[in-house]
Each structure stands twice: as structure tokens, then as C-alpha cells.
Amino acid sequence: MSKNGELPKKFEEIHSKIEKAVTPYITVKIVMPEGVDKEEFLKLENNDEFLQALNGFVKRWLKRSIKQSRKDEAQN
């Protein structure tokens, strides 16, 4: 019986590794802000507009981070 339980888990691990190799991604935990409706907050996980906004934020963050890194390297 334990074999059957192990197979789906092993499959999921392998599937995740392949998916990350083909299309890298990260999983981020965002704590629900105080005073927000729980249902509305949880809907954000599948909201394409929200996900696109996060994607844009990540691009700006990385661009700024890389720029700062290069600036720091140039000063050393």
C-alpha cells in the first residue's frame, strides 16, 4: 500500500523538476494583509491580471537589483 502512496508523490516531484527546467518559476507565500476580505485575497492566486502585475514587479525588481550589483562591483 505504501508503494501506491509513494508513486504519486514521486511523480509530482519529477513533474515539478521537469516543469521548472522547461519554464522556471518560484513559489512565493504572501501573507494576507490585515483588513482584507479572505475570499477576495485567495482569488488573487488565479487572477491573471494580478499575476501579470507581479510579473512586471519581478522584472523591475531584478533590473534594479542587477543595476545595483553592477554599481557595487564597479566601486570595489
pLDDT level of residue 4 (50, 70, 90 thresholds)? low
Instruction: Give the pLDDT score at 73.
Output: 82
Extents of the domains making up the chain: 2-75
Question: With the C-alpha atoms ordered 59, 62, 65, 69, is the resulting torsion angle positive or negative?
Answer: negative
pLDDT at residue 2 greater than cutoff 60:
no
CA 25 to chain centre: 6
pLDDT at residue 63 greater than cutoff 70:
yes
pTM above 0.75, yes or no: no
pLDDT per position as a tens digit, 10-47: 998 998 889 889 988 888 999 999 999 999 999 999 99
27 three-state secondary structure: coil
